[in-house]
Amino acid sequence: MSIANTFDKGLKLLELFTYERTSLTLREVSEMSGLSKPTALRLLNTLEVNGYLTRDKGKAYCLGLKFLELGNFVAERLDVRAAALPHMDQLLFMVDQAVNLVIRDGLDAVYIEKRETAHPVRMYTRVGRRAPLYSGACPRALIAFLPEKEREDLIDKLTIEPYMETTPKDKAELRERIAQERAQGYTFSRGELHDGTAALGVPIRDYTRRVVASLSISGPQSSFVEDKHPYFLKALQKAAADISADLGYTRGRG
Amino acid sequence: MSIANTFDKGLKLLELFTYERTSLTLREVSEMSGLSKPTALRLLNTLEVNGYLTRDKGKAYCLGLKFLELGNFVAERLDVRAAALPHMDQLLFMVDQAVNLVIRDGLDAVYIEKRETAHPVRMYTRVGRRAPLYSGACPRALIAFLPEKEREDLIDKLTIEPYMETTPKDKAELRERIAQERAQGYTFSRGELHDGTAALGVPIRDYTRRVVASLSISGPQSSFVEDKHPYFLKALQKAAADISADLGYTRGRG
DNA sequence: CTCTCCATTTCATCATGTGAAATCACGTGC
DNA sequence: GCACGTGATTTCACATGATGAAATGGAGAG
């Protein structure tokens, strides 16, 4: 597979912009990318002309509004997301905790939608964010409820890195954890993606009965107390069932 | 200003994907772009390797999840948006009509956030969508409430194209319309962006007292009946005032 | 099994990207 | 108001990397 060198270099520049580093000057881009200033400039110019970058009052570049547009095309293409949105709003209203929707992309889980409480303490899960499949209630719900063969094939391909205290630390522990979660019908995590947060996750299925996404509610452990779990879980499962139904999933056989 | 030719060609390929055309084959890309197949392929490969494109079950390319991620970085950077979100949710709850948030980018209005009703009849405003500043209640609120000098400078630069029946058809009409809207404190449109829809818009200001965004509610004209306007308007103005206050706007002088 | 339609690879040609160094532009201190 | 410094931009000679016609590969239909 051959790729276009210059094009590749240019695209890589976009990776320099992160949630924390929202704007970069030519010098910074040049230094961070290892490209000479003229080269970096030409590439940045090209991005700017095409609307992928804008410049703030100074001369610093930031990601342009075009990404909003294209990001939205992607979002709108995702059927699960469209089906889930109203139910996520409803769920947020009922539990007053952050609500997340995740799909699988290769060996990653990708957050494709979220709804947040207006509380001062926010969960900061971002749309587009990636996480390992084994870490966190929502990601893990994507593998836990797959048919055995697929599930094992997937776990085989994973590389498990110790992530947080409470994250499964090897495949044996992951399998054990998943087996239990499968038995109880939902996934649970404490502090697997961020310290001090907890989450409950359940799968979403479409008309083929395959798990196509997972839905979770998460919040700071302080507000996520044990005795609320049954209520949370009920609301969560109801929402997931409604979304699945909207996607044509039927419970019975055949 | 020099740009990188190959990079530019590659970026232009992304423009081929629209809301309607969500997936394209190599042949289509090659034909639509005028590039030879090998060239198109190399560019597409490059985009794919970097996560900007994925391929569906067939061989067709679609925009990748990376755009979700980058689109979200952009969204999170927009302070108005963060401030507006909770109030938009609240407003949606109160009026049960689509709620839109728009900022100005050059001579365009850009929709940066929306909240929609669960009704079967939806407004299809998309995040990232651009509209001319003179067309629609929300865009027009962005110019209507600017200080005179800025407003006139901006109107001078506009090119007014007949858009819809009810859209101002020249600058004179636009000025007249704006003057009236400014006097009444809000903008109103019927069928300016889509047939059969109506909208009410108001400005949002930050601590510098400049108009930084506008907020609107919109819906099918059938549900947007005259006698609800006072209620809609009150809720809308309250939400906009709250958002402005969150951005440090103070009403009094000095 | 063959035909056909695309996707993909090859390769000789030459357009384009490249970076060191020169220049420009703007802000800051004296 | 002038000199200095920092960082953005332009120049230009060179060679790397892009290009497309044509050949090859591969998957699905008849």
Q: A210-233 pLDDT, tens per residue?
A: 999 999 999 999 889 889 999 999
Residue A60's nearest nucleotide, by CA–C1', is D8
The shortest CB-CB distance from A11 to any of B50, B76, B85 is to: B50
Report the gap between the CA of A126 and the closest CA in chain B (Å): 7
Extract the tokens encoding B151: 């407003």
The answer to whether B1 CB sits below 7 Å from nucleic acid chain D is yes
Please give the average per-residue pLDDT across B73-95, as a whole number. Answer: 93
Residue B252 lies in a domain: no
Q: How far is A155 from chain B (nearest CA, A)?
A: 22
Q: Is the pLDDT of residue A253 over 80?
A: no
Closest nucleotide to B39 by C1' from CA: D19
Count of structural domains, chain A = 2
**Residues of chain A with C-beta less than 8 angstroms from the C-beta of B74:** 62-65, 67-68, 71
State the pLDDT confidence band at B254, using cuts at 50, 70 and 90: very low
Residue B130 in contact with residue B109, Cβ under 8 Å? yes
* A127 and A204 housed in the same domain: yes
Q: Any idea what the CATH number is for the domain that residue B9 is in?
A: 1.10.10.10
Q: Does residue A65 sit within a domain?
A: yes
Higher pLDDT, A121 or B115: B115
Helices of type H across chain B: 5-14, 26-33, 37-49, 66-77, 79-95, 137-144, 148-157, 171-184, 229-246
Please tell me which residue of chain B has the smallest CA distance to A67.
B71
- Phi, psi torsion values for B54, nearest 5 degrees: -130, 170
Sign of the Cα torsion A93, A111, B218, B247 reads positive
Query: In sequence order, what are the residues at sequence separation of 6 or more whose Cβ sits closer than 8 angstroms to the Cβ of residue A186?
Result: A137, A141, A200, A201, A202, A233, A236, A237
One domain for residues A101 and A28: no
pLDDT band, very low/low/confident/very high, at B98 (cuts 50, 70, 90): very high
Q: Which of B43, B38, B37 is nearest to B6 (CA)?
A: B43
Looking at per-residue pLDDT, the higher value among B223 and A198 belongs to A198
Q: Name the closest residue (CA) to the C1' of nucleotide D19.
A: B39
Query: Inter-chain contact A127–B2, Cβ cutoff 8 Å?
Result: no
Q: Of B137, B92, B135, B133, nearest to B115 (Cα)?
A: B92
* B39 CB contact with strand D at below 7 Å: yes
Residue–nucleotide distance: A166 CA to D14 C1' (Å): 57
Percent of chain A with pLDDT over 90: 73
Q: How far apart are CA A241 and CA A234, in angstroms?
A: 10
C-beta separation of B59 from B26 below 8 A: yes
Q: DSSP of B136-149, one letter per residue?
A: SHHHHHHHHTS-HH
B254 in any annotated domain: no
Judge residue B181's burial from the number of C-beta atoms within 10 Å of its C-beta, 0-12 exposed, 13-18 middle, 19 or more buried. buried
pLDDT of residue B99: 96
Asked whether the beta carbons of A149 and A210 are under 8 A apart, the reply is: no
A254 domain-assigned: no
The minimal CB distance from A72 to the residues B52, B65, B127 is found for B127
Q: Is 70 exceeded by the pLDDT of residue A120?
A: no
pLDDT in tens, B135-194: 999 999 999 999 999 999 999 999 998 778 788 889 999 999 999 999 999 999 998 888
Report CB contact under 8 Å: A73, B22.
yes
Q: How far apart are alpha carbons A239 and A232 in whole angstroms?
A: 11
The answer to whether residue A86 scores a pLDDT higher than 80 is: yes
Segment A133-159 shows an average pLDDT of 94
Helix (H) or strand (E) holding A41: helix A37-49
In terms of residue numbers, what domain contains A44? 5-15+22-69
Residue B1 has pLDDT above 80, yes or no: no
Mean confidence (pLDDT) of chain A? 91
Q: Indicate if the pLDDT at residue B106 is higher than 90.
A: no
Q: Pick the more confident residue, A207 or B58.
A: A207
Q: Report the alpha-carbon distance of residue B139 to residue B159 in Å, rounded.
A: 15
> Do B98 and B33 belong together in one domain?
no
Do the domain assignments include residue B102? yes
Task: Indicate whether B122 pLDDT > 70.
Answer: no
Domain stop point among A69, A86, A101: A69
SS3 of residue B84 by DSSP? helix
pLDDT category of residue A106 using cuts at 50, 70 and 90? confident
Angle between helices A26-33 and A5-14 (to 10 degrees): 120
Overall size of chain A counted in residues? 254
Contact (CB, 8 A) for A195 and A186: no
Averaged pLDDT of chain B? 91
Judgement on whether residues B219 and B192 belong to the same structural domain of the protein = yes
Chain B environment of A4 (Cβ under 8 Å): 6, 10, 42-43, 45-46
Same domain, A26 and A131: no
Determine the 3-state secondary structure of B110 from DSSP.
strand
Of B18, B43, B63, which is closest to A7 when you measure between CB atoms? B43
Residue at a domain's end among A34, A51, A69: A69
CB pairs under 8 A between A and B: 177
With a cut of 90, say whether residue B212 has pLDDT above it: yes
CA(B200)–C1'(D26) in Å? 57
Please indicate, yes or no, whether residues B225 and B99 belong to a single structural domain of this protein: yes
> How many CA within 13 A on the CB side of residue A162?
2
Q: How far apart are CA B234 and CA B91, in angstroms?
A: 10
Handedness of CA B141, B146, B150, B152 (dihedral sign): positive
User: What is the three-class DSSP state of B190?
Assistant: strand
From B95's Cα to the closest Cα of chain A, the distance in A is 15
- pLDDT-based confidence at A254, cuts 50/70/90? very low
% of chain B with per-residue pLDDT over 70: 97
Q: Which nucleotide is nearest to A6 (CA to C1')?
A: C17
Least confident of A6-15, A114-123, B58-67: A114-123
The lowest-confidence range among A120-134, B130-144, B210-224 is A120-134
- The answer to whether B9 CB sits below 7 Å from nucleic acid chain D is yes
Q: Which residues pair with B199 in a beta bridge?
A: B189, B218
In a domain, B24, yes or no: yes
A102 shares its domain with A211: yes
Closest CB to B72: pick one of A3, A105, A127: A127
CATH number at residue B155: 3.30.450.40
Q: Are residues B97 and B59 in the same domain?
A: no
Instruction: Tell whether A54 and A97 lie within a shared domain.
Output: no
Chain B: residue whose CA lies nearest to A42: B3
Is the residue at B135 inside a domain?
A: yes
Residue of B nearest to A51 (CA): B11
Question: Is B30 among the domain residues?
Answer: yes
Confidence of residue B97 (pLDDT cuts 50, 70, 90): very high
B84 and B64 both lie in a single domain: no
Question: Is there a single domain that holds both residue B61 and residue B25?
Answer: yes
- Together in a domain, A63 and A138: no
- By C1' distance from the Cα of A55, the closest nucleotide is D8
Long-range contacts (CB closer than 8 Å, 24 or more residues apart) made by A182-188: A182/A144, A182/A145, A185/A237, A186/A137, A186/A141, A186/A233, A186/A236, A186/A237, A187/A137, A187/A138, A187/A140, A187/A141, A187/A144, A187/A214, A187/A216, A188/A137
User: Which bases of chain C come closer than 7 Å to a protein CB?
Assistant: 6-11, 16-21
10 Å CB burial of residue A239 (0-12, 13-18, 19+) is: buried
pLDDT digits (tens, 9 = 90+) for A151-205: 999 999 999 987 788 889 899 999 999 999 999 999 999 988 888 899 999 999 9
